[in-house]
Amino acid sequence: MNHVLRTLFFALIVRPIMMVVLGTNVRRREWLPSEGPALIVANHNSHLDVFALMNILGLSRLRHVRPVAAGDYFLTRPLRRWFSTRIVGILPIDRTKTKRDCDGKHPLEPISEVLRAGGIVLLFPEGTRGEPEKLESFQTGVAHLAKRHPDVPITPVFMHGLGKALPKGETLLVPFFCDVFVGEPLNSTLPKKEFMNQLDTAFSKLSEELPVQTW
């Protein structure tokens, strides 16, 4: 990963877009982890979600932030692969792998390695970008990570607006204001089913903080 180019890209391109072109309002920014290891889970409606979260965390933490992304999508083309891994710093995961590989490596092990090294991992438990501003069902990978790393704080973050600014399948950026709501860390010691119920409840409560409006 090229940390110099990464810092310049976020300082000179991402930050002006997120703060000037779109505008970003963050509620309870102080609840975001100040250092790793930490896991941030957020809803996913747009490619902008990653940039919004990394921008909110700030340049001082940028070196330690690794967003989880689909390796089967971001690693398929040379330019996309270079930009995703060298500039954005994605942590590519093979979505087709659900069991240990022939070497006995768990599919979530790359995430665990980053957490053990003190990194801040961004995870989108819906698994893929959904319909604009609509929450999809959460996959259980985050519950397995909670079990693997019970001492790592897991912070839920609900974002609204980016699904309209750059929805799935679109390339034209539309100026829509972005609201970000940070929740309290989840209880990582709960059994899988209870943990997932807790996750659903957390995002439901965060989404209720949105002002009533019509798109």
Q: Where are the domains of the chain?
A: 3-10+24-207
Instruction: Name the burial class of residue 48, with classes exposed (0-12), middle (13-18) and buried (19+) by CB atoms within 10 angstroms of its CB.
Output: buried
Strand order in the sheet with 38-42: 24-27, 178-182, 154-160, 38-42, 120-123, 65-70, 91-93
pLDDT of residue 131: 63
How far apart are the C-alpha atoms of 215 and 136, rounded to whole Å?
A: 19
**Amino acid symbol at 2:** N
pLDDT of residue 72: 76
pLDDT of residue 104: 62
Tell me the mean pLDDT per 10 residues along the chain, length 215.
90 90 91 95 89 94 93 82 92 71 74 96 81 79 95 96 75 79 96 96 93 58
- Homologous superfamily of the 3-10+24-207 domain (CATH): Glycerol-3-phosphate (1)-acyltransferase (3.40.1130.10)
The torsion angles phi and psi of 161, rounded to 5 degrees, stand at 120, -35
Exposed e or buried b for every residue in 160-199, given b needs 16+ CB within 10 A?
A: bbbbbbbbeeeeeeeebebbbbbbeebebebeeeebbebb
pLDDT of residue 215: 46
Which of 73, 43, 40, 71 lies closest to 57 in space, CA to CA?
40
